[in-house]
Structure 1
């Protein structure tokens, strides 16, 4: 299976631009063609694609892609699905996810 890492903040405020970095490393003893799809999956809305990888990765090497999304009014999961070409079809080669929690800003002024 491919080694997958996701770098993203643990939380963000609504409307904030969230930067994501995904790294896919080939753990095979040979070169292989990989496809990875990077999704933003909000708790309350349909998921959508924010990035992808489609290339040959040499044995032991990595490919990194950056992507971003605007934080909605709910928690959002960054989800990565990786497939590898095997003879004559694509096969599942791993997945990973990371939750970006909605950060509620503290009120600027509390009145009594």
Structure 2
């Protein structure tokens, strides 16, 4: 949910098309891969890891805890969370986690 809210907030002051795309798919090695992409302001490459640090924020009124907590939750389930610049503008946050029996349907 944090990734979706961040995506919406990143696009609020953008002129032109605002688009968020959420994808989920099975990845190799019995993993689930989820991505949240937007056409927002993006994440400067120099902050790609730093934004996951506790109390680091790029928002004027941010706490710097949302992405840290999100990464902690994903990692506690055996997964990984990262960010990459999106083609053009925006950002893509992605995470993987092991598929569970319920996920395999």
Same fold, judged at TM 0.5 (above): no
More helix by share: 2
TM-score normalised to the size of structure 1? 0.30
TM-score normalised to the size of structure 2? 0.31
| Structure with greater Cα Rg | 1
